Structure 1
């Protein structure tokens, strides 16, 4: 039977602080975790599982994986992994790439795919009785979104820490907002989590704006030790604003 390795204290402290700061998890919540098979979502699964066992607030946990049927991306091995875990697991398949080719007309595939996946997660949460959707974006993701929005869209915006969707029936939480990507990468490797390589080959096949921003931030951080600490402080007001654009 698969056993979760206990996440390091540095990860647990960061997640615990985020959950407390934004009141992400409440007693009696039924949480559905969106799990792609990447290092971030698998790390968040281990963290939430640990909290479920030891935190004073009691909640239920389920997991959903969406297979967009993209060539080169096969999350199906996760089925065997979850077969040995006492966690409700939902594996949904939809030909998102084929649909995108019919409807995109030059627009971003990544944005279309994310929107379609979110719809599937919402519908599954409603059908299965989950009131909270947990997503695994971390501080690096928020910083990249902040600069992409400012530089390429002309407005200040980033991902939200905790909000209620447009229809008002599902809360969306991001417990990793204080966590760095290098932390999830290190934990996933040490815990030997079953990471699915290249969680979106369609995006990795060509350089993107996010790739450029990620490289630029890495260079800036090499010159400025407290870059991400300062960015977090700057982004805080944006992390709590209404999030209609995300739904």
Structure 2
């Protein structure tokens, strides 16, 4: 008699089955290309409850299995002061997917509500700080976040169009404030449309955003700018299907010799230095 698979096993199989080409292989490519994981690593996978972090958790679990446990995983969920119903939905989804999350509570939303005109920026900084601190306390040397391919190219364009700078989102970086800690982004090469397809194919329902500031943030400049950049890329893609890959490729092939100016390690440089 054939053994009936559990839901989390079916979902895991989908990653190396129908979504092997669009999700699993790009994920492994990012891990290997950018040297995101080394033997002996203890990695805190940060699970917010959305589609990206939930997928990341499943992929990291599967990678640990196929690479014979040469690294250790912790699954961290930070509750910044959500409504209990939101936290319960996250826990229910984690149980469905077989992800053993550890929840720790903070009062970030209460602090942000009192002090911030632009809550999303402050909240993001505080959340990351709490995640680093908790991960370090657990003996981890890395945290893994769920930023994907589209986050990378959108952030690149936002910097150019609104920030007056050419700056990319790195797949891996050292923490400025927590010694020995690094941040990695294993979904760096995974497209958002493929994440959505995986979610829908498995009939999964994740948190959109459990933050009470969402409606306010939709009026914030940063939120509307990202939405406009996303729409711009979608429009350009109708005319040039490769536009997303071109943007992504551009941050890997920067020609510094053609730039009149650039910064490295916080120090500004001019093309005139090369003419002296």
Q: Same fold (TM over 0.5)?
A: yes
Residue in 2 that maps onto 1:195? 206
Cα–Cα, structure 1 residues 27 and 97, in superposed 2: closer, same or farther, change >3 Å? same
- Superimposed CA distance per residue, residues 105-159 of structure 1 (whole angstroms, 9 cap, x where no aligned partner): x3x3211111011011111111111111001101111111112212222111121
Query: What are the within-5 Å matches in structure 2 for residues 34-73 of structure 1?
Result: 34-55=46-67, 58-70=70-82
Q: Is residue 171 from structure 1 mapped to residue 186 from structure 2 by the alignment?
A: no
Residue in 1 that maps onto 2:272? none
* In 1: Cα distance, 2:71 partner to 2:210 partner: 28
Q: Figure out how many residues of one structure are paired with residues of the other and give that number.
A: 240
* In 2: Cα distance, 1:242 partner to 1:170 partner: 21
> How much has 1:96 moved relative to structure 2?
2.2
Gaps of 5+ in 2: 1-5, 255-262, 267-276
* In 2: Cα distance, 1:83 partner to 1:162 partner: 29
Gaps of 5+ in 1: none
> Residue 73 of structure 1 contacts residue 201 of structure 1 at CA under 8 Å; is this kept in 2?
no
Q: Is residue 214 from structure 1 mapped to residue 230 from structure 2 by the alignment?
A: yes
Higher relative contact order (CA 8 A, sep 6+): 1
- Superimposed CA distance per residue, residues 41-87 of structure 1 (whole angstroms, 9 cap, x where no aligned partner): 11111111111111256211111112222569823322244457775
Equivalent residue in structure 1 for 2:125, among 115, 137, 144: 115
TM-score, length of structure 1 as denominator length: 0.86
> How much has 1:94 moved relative to structure 2?
2.4
Residue in 1 that maps onto 2:89? 77
TM-score, length of structure 2 as denominator length: 0.78
> Residue 82 of structure 2 contacts residue 210 of structure 2 at CA under 8 Å; is this kept in 1?
no
Query: What are the within-5 Å matches in structure 2 for residues 1-247 of structure 1?
Result: 3-4=8-9, 5=11, 6=13, 7=15, 8-10=19-21, 11-55=23-67, 58-70=70-82, 74-82=86-94, 88-104=100-116, 106=117, 108-166=118-176, 167-200=178-211, 202-203=213-214, 205=216, 206-207=218-219, 208-236=224-252
Instruction: Please tell me the root mean square deviation across aligned C-alpha atoms, in Å.
Output: 2.6
> How much has 1:237 moved relative to structure 2?
5.8
- Equivalent position SS for 2:213: helix
- Equivalent position SS for 1:3: helix
> Residue 138 of structure 1 contacts residue 180 of structure 1 at CA under 8 Å; is this kept in 2?
yes
* In 2: Cα distance, 1:234 partner to 1:129 partner: 36
| Residue range with higher mean Cα deviation, 72-81 or 141-150 | 72-81
